[in-house]
Amino acid sequence: MENNFLVDAVIYLAAAVVCVPVAKRLGLGSVLGYLMAGILIGPFVLGFVGQEGKDIMHFAEFGVVMMLFIVGLELEPATLWKMRTSVLGYGSLQMVGTTLCIFALMLFLDWEWPSALAVGMAFSMSSTAIVLQSLKEKNQLNLPSGTNSFSILLFQDIAVIPILAMLPLLAKDGIVDDDTHHTFLSAFPAWLQTFGVLLAVGSIIIAGRYLIVPMLRFISHTHLRELFTATALLIVIAIALLMQMVGLSPALGTFLAGVVLASSEYKHELESDLDPFKGLLLGLFFLAVGASINFNLILARPVLILLSTLIVMAIKMGVLYIVGKRLKLAKDQHWLFTFVLSQVGEFAFVLLAFMAQVRLVNSGQNDFLMAVVALSMLFTPLVLLVHERIMIPRWANRMNEEQESDVENNQHKVILIGFSHFGSTIGRFLRANNIESTILDNDSDRVLLLRKMGFKVYYGDATRIDILHAAGAETADIIVVGTGTPETNIDIVKLVLKHYPQARIMVRARNRMDAYEFMDLGILHIYRETLDAAIRVGVDVLGLMGERKYSAFRTGQKFLKYDNQSMKKLKAHRHDMNVYVNKAKEEIARQEEMLADDKDKLKGLSSDVAWDSEYMRDMILQPRTK
């Protein structure tokens, strides 16, 4: 057994280590790499892994749970509240639309209506794992297509629960004698179950506020990093368990916990501790999906299964296209949204297994449907590749064509990357000073809008070397990296450092921690995006409180200078939270001292005489003159 475990581990890890970098190198994305690795080691190619692929898949689904926890950490409750219309409205539109279309198709194919409806619901699911991983890898999560995709996925996560409850009702004999979906609560009456669910959700919110944060604080005082990691894992697993007990989706529960913890000081710590686990488990999950694709079945009826998969995906895309239209997404975003959600997701595996248990589908049908789901997941990265490699460059060309000549003629010395409020302010300022810059942005909505306003904005993903090249990066003097996503900025900075060393880089950092990363890369011009505005507010508060504006202004300027100096000192300590906090306290105290000192110096000017020679002589020679 022990040997088996080691052998399995070596096989999985080796497959991943070989296939994923190759796939990445070829620009195929890590998801496809893992899937390929899974197929390679699966029963139909090398045969290293047999049917246990499915068990591993269940285990690895935990990666999705962790992923949603981490996604939750990024979302403050207020942001989530803002998303409610898109989650409920467009999420339900997508699910109902897809379910009905597939339901109708299945009826047409002579399936019985309960099974047809069940399959329709299962197939309306998309894969959170694939979608979020793909979008994150390409830094597209913050684009309109990304946030809307997330809304849809969130709704699907919520919808799994009522669907699981409905399936037994659809089953003819209505018996459930399984033990997989036997929850702790199912023995109790319905009202008590509902109460239990509410209690569980409530306890997550309350525990997140009043139990988990103090616990993390206590744990972090032990100075044992691995204990913090263990605590992070404990939180996620305990919540998953609690959710399972009350029959809710573990992913949903951990997502909620993530949102609750989003405003805590341990957000980044939790994120970085769980990230490797999430990544590995998700990788394992994709591997398992690849390994479980039943090629025997596919080879037996290749046309039927391929055709079915394509039809299912086409239906899903059709519905998504309509949803995207209602969301008024720009063309490239619209198609990305349509493509990225077009697969059937991992929840379908769960639902199909359950459907087999309640005998809504027989085992032959089940295998067939499973194959369709797995194939659709395999096709997603390919479809995305078509989008990225063929459709996007064509739009980019078309969008940029009209201005193409300008790029060549002017060869602007300044390239502005990211034209949000931040970048556009820089752009307006430079233009007011007669400095034309080449502007790059990957949000086509914004590109079109800004062009209407008379800016020369080019559409393109600046993390791609060909786009940077086209923008004239090799002759640029200054490249301002100012997108709203720190990860994107880091990617771009690294690219520029490597390929365009002549360009001076000025970079937008979200906060101190981001700024440290840029400092590590050797960047000299780092601008924390909220620092200046915050200091200006502080200066104006002093002014409104009655302090002289000039003194307040000077203090603000000094504060800015000292803050940047202290950052350089604190940089070295940032990886050890405790040392960092102590050093930061010291720095803050020093900063306050220096500002006070500065005020004292200014006081010298107070009696209007500091410079006055008479006064100086009196000061120095006081004993003699007296």
Partner 1 sequence: MSKVALIFAHPRLEDSKIHKQLLQVLPKSPNLTFHDLYENYPDFVIDIDREKKILLDHDVIIWQHPVYWYSCPPLLKQWMDMVLEIGWAYGPGGNALEGKRVQSIVSTGGPEQAYQEGGNNRFPLEQYFLPFEQTARLCKMEYLPLFSIKGSHRISPEQLQEKKIEYRQCIESLLELNNTSYGK
210 is an interface residue for partner 1 by CB under 8 A:
no
Residue (277 or 553) nearer to partner 1, CB: 553
Q: Which residue has the tokens 């090398």?
A: 46
Residue (524 or 605) nearer to partner 1, CB: 605
- Burial per residue of 324-344, b for 16 or more beta-carbon CB atoms within 10 angstroms, e otherwise: beebebbebbbbbbbbbbbbb
Q: Is 457 left (phi over 0), alpha (psi -120 to 50) or beta?
A: beta
User: Binding segment for partner 1 among 219-227, 314-322, 353-361, 613-621 (CB under 8 A)?
Assistant: 613-621
User: Binding segment for partner 1 among 219-227, 417-425, 542-550, 566-574 (CB under 8 A)?
Assistant: 542-550
Which x/- pattern, by CB under 8 A, does the window 344-373 give for partner 1?
Answer: ------------------------------
Residue (587 or 598) nearer to partner 1, CB: 598
Residue (182 or 561) nearer to partner 1, CB: 561
Q: How many CB atoms lie within 10 A of CB 366?
A: 16
550 is an interface residue for partner 1 by CB under 8 A:
yes
Cα angle, residue 558 at apex, residues 556 and 562 outer, rounded to 5°:
120
408 is an interface residue for partner 1 by CB under 8 A:
no
433 is an interface residue for partner 1 by CB under 8 A:
no
Q: How far is the CB of 501 from partner 1 (least distance, A)?
A: 36
- Give me the numbers of helices (H) and strands (E) for the chain, helices first please: 30, 6
178 is an interface residue for partner 1 by CB under 8 A:
no
Cα separation, 224 vs 222, in Å, equals 5
306 is an interface residue for partner 1 by CB under 8 A:
no
The torsion angle over the Cα atoms of residues 61, 67, 69 and 74, rounded to 10 degrees, is: -170
622 is an interface residue for partner 1 by CB under 8 A:
no
Give the residue ranges of DSSP H helices in 262-362. Answer: 267-292, 295-300, 302-326, 331-340, 346-357
Q: How far is the CB of 535 from partner 1 (least distance, A)?
A: 13
User: Binding segment for partner 1 among 69-77, 213-221, 448-456, 604-612 (CB under 8 A)?
Assistant: 604-612
Give the pair of three-digit tokens for residue 285: 């999950």
Report yes or no: 253 and 243 within 8 Å, Cβ to Cβ.
Answer: yes
4 is an interface residue for partner 1 by CB under 8 A:
no
User: Binding segment for partner 1 among 227-235, 260-268, 334-342, 606-614 (CB under 8 A)?
Assistant: 606-614
525 is an interface residue for partner 1 by CB under 8 A:
no
Classify residue 88 as exposed, middle or buried by CB count within 10 Å of its CB (0-12, 13-18, 19+): middle
Which residues have CB under 8 Å from 357's CB, separation 6+?
Answer: 176, 178, 180, 181
Which residues have CB under 8 Å from 430's CB, separation 6+?
Answer: 414, 416, 436, 437
Cα separation, 321 vs 338, in Å, equals 5
199 is an interface residue for partner 1 by CB under 8 A:
no
Among 549, 569, 575, 585, binds partner 1 (CB under 8 A): 549
561 is an interface residue for partner 1 by CB under 8 A:
no
Classify residue 476 as exposed, middle or buried by CB count within 10 Å of its CB (0-12, 13-18, 19+): buried
Which x/- pattern, by CB under 8 A, does the window 88-127 give for partner 1?
Answer: ----------------------------------------
434 is an interface residue for partner 1 by CB under 8 A:
no
Q: How far is the CB of 611 from partner 1 (least distance, A)?
A: 5
621 is an interface residue for partner 1 by CB under 8 A:
no
DSSP state letter for 76: -
595 is an interface residue for partner 1 by CB under 8 A:
no
Report yes or no: 373 and 413 within 8 Å, Cβ to Cβ.
Answer: no
Among 548, 561, 568, 585, binds partner 1 (CB under 8 A): 548
Give the residue ranges of DSSP H helices in 83-141. Answer: 84-85, 91-108, 113-123, 128-137
Residue (593 or 618) nearer to partner 1, CB: 618
Which residues have CB under 8 Å from 187's CB, separation 6+?
Answer: none
Among 614, 622, 624, 625, binds partner 1 (CB under 8 A): 614
Report yes or no: 512 and 520 within 8 Å, Cβ to Cβ.
Answer: no
Q: How far is the CB of 537 from partner 1 (least distance, A)?
A: 15
Q: How far is the CB of 422 from partner 1 (least distance, A)?
A: 22
Among 4, 606, 622, 625, binds partner 1 (CB under 8 A): 606
Q: Which residue has the tokens 């690294």?
A: 494
Residue (161 or 560) nearer to partner 1, CB: 560
Among 551, 563, 571, 598, binds partner 1 (CB under 8 A): 551
608 is an interface residue for partner 1 by CB under 8 A:
yes
Residue (499 or 561) nearer to partner 1, CB: 561
552 is an interface residue for partner 1 by CB under 8 A:
yes
596 is an interface residue for partner 1 by CB under 8 A:
no
602 is an interface residue for partner 1 by CB under 8 A:
yes
At residue 506, φ and ψ (nearest 5 deg) are: -120, 125
For every residue of 165-193, which 3-state class applies, written as one string?
A: HHHHHHCCCCCCCCCCCCCCCCCCCHHHH
625 is an interface residue for partner 1 by CB under 8 A:
no
613 is an interface residue for partner 1 by CB under 8 A:
yes
560 is an interface residue for partner 1 by CB under 8 A:
no
Query: Please, what is the angle between helix 225-246 and helix 267-292, to 10°?
Result: 60
Residue (210 or 615) nearer to partner 1, CB: 615
Q: How far is the CB of 426 from partner 1 (least distance, A)?
A: 20
Cα–Cα separations (whole angstroms), residue 257 to 74, 142, 262, 391, 411: 11, 21, 9, 38, 50
DSSP state letter for 483: -
553 is an interface residue for partner 1 by CB under 8 A:
yes
> What is the contact surface with partner 1 in residues (CB under 8 A)?
547-554, 602-603, 605-615, 617
